[in-house]
Amino acid sequence: MNANASGLESTARSLVAPGKGILAADESGPTIEKRFQGIGLPSTEPNRRTYRELLFTTPGVSEYISGAILYDETIRQASSDGIPFPRLLESRGIVPGIKVDEGAKPLPGFPGEKVTEGLDGLRGRLAQYRELGARFAKWRAVIDIGEGIPTAYCIRANAHALARYAALSQEAGIVPIVEPEVLMDGGHTIERCGEVTAELLSQVYAELAGHRVRLEGTLLKPNMVISGKKCPAQADVSRVAEETVRTLLRTVPAAVPGIVFLSGGQTPRQATEHLNAMNAMGVNPWELSFSYGRALQDPVLKAWKGEPGNLPAAQSAFLHRAKVNGAARSGNYLPEMEV
Ligand code: 13P
């Protein structure tokens, strides 16, 4: 194994170390604006910087958080005392990562479907991000379930882009997090989510193999297999855990060191309960962990509201969600931990 391959593998493994998971703090400009609107805070550069500093400097959080995914603006920002965020994170034992896709755009000829852009110039951007301290990256593909969708072509186009991105990341010495997300919007059943997720993951691993991506130096960030938000028959926690693990066992090679779920619109508590139930089912070929955005941050934003005086309460909300998800990594989460 060459030095690059072993470096990628050890970074990937450290991101799914026991009891730890990833903080997704890579909201794009429009997305963080939406989150700030929820607490009546204008999305200015100083507010975004202050908020990310709050997260990254939370005392004790590195016991449960292995890595943090940043946005292009964030990786270039620094703490109030002038330490660049990537260096600050590293000094706290948190691996800095970067979102490198440029968003999901309408797929021409396929109404209602999207393909993620950002491959042009990616080699150069990856080299620059590595200079800035990024050791892993993320690329998100978005698949919607609806009348007649997803089409096989949309799945193939997105899987192909994910694999191109993954190969380029590994070439740059950066661990690719491969994120194919089946959205939980809509009225579909858990069975339909399972079918689409299985088809998507099969295609993604076929493309990764085709692009000669070394799976040991990658992580998968999928949706859970779950009922659509508007489905009248909502599957319970144990059903979600069983369907998700079954689907992953059928499609994800054992060479992948870890699967880090997105929360995708689940409540913070649901996201923790589902992860916990999966880990309580027993041993799997890969680590089952988290890379949550909203499920880690929603309670933090609510506690903070942009007020400096609320900083301790906001940090303690973050530490709490990190800790309960850390417990869910080994199936040791208990509802009593919520009080
Ligand atoms: P959520 O956990 O809020 O879905 O965000 C995770 C993420 O990184 C989506 O790309």
pLDDT, tens digit (0-9, with 9 covering 90-100), for 169-221: 999 999 999 999 999 999 999 999 999 999 999 999 999 999 999 999 999 99
Whole-number Å distance, alpha carbon 270 to ligand 1 midpoint, is 14
Q: Where are the alpha helices (DSSP H) in 16-58?
A: 29-37, 45-56
Q: Which atom of ligand 1 is nearest to the CA of 295?
A: 2
Q: How many CB atoms lie within 10 A of CB 233?
A: 7
221 Cα–ligand 1 center, Å: 9
Q: How far is the CA of 1 from the centre of ligand 1 (A)?
A: 33
Going by pLDDT thresholds of 50, 70 and 90, the confidence category of residue 1 is low
- Structural tokens at position 217: 């130096």
pLDDT tens column, 307-323: 999 999 999 999 999 99
| Nearest alpha carbon to residue 238 among 197, 209, 280, 269 | 280
Catalytic residue among 179, 181, 243, 273: 179
Structure tokens at 246: 């079954």
Angle of CA points 142, 113, 174, to nearest 5°: 30
Q: Best of 15, 27, 114, 291 to mutate for ligand 1, by most ligand atoms within 8 A of CB?
A: 291
Distance from C-alpha of 22 to C-alpha of 84, rounded to nearest angstrom: 19
Residues in contact with ligand 1 by the CB-under-6-Å rule are 24, 140, 179, 262-264, 292-295
pLDDT in tens, 90-135: 999 999 999 999 999 999 999 999 999 999 999 999 999 999 999 9
Q: Exposed, middle or buried: residue 84 (CB in 10 Å: 0-12, 13-18, 19+)?
A: middle
Mutate to test the pocket of ligand 1, among 294, 297, 301 (most ligand atoms within 8 A of CB): 294
Check if 9 is active-site: no
Asked whether 99 and 71 are in contact (CB, 8 A), the reply is yes
Ligand 1 center to 316 CA (angstroms): 21
Q: What is the pLDDT of residues 234-284, one digit of tens each?
A: 999 999 999 999 999 999 999 999 999 999 999 999 999 999 999 999 999
Q: What is the spatial distance between Cα 150 and Cα 270, in angstroms, rounded to a whole number?
A: 26
SS3 18: coil
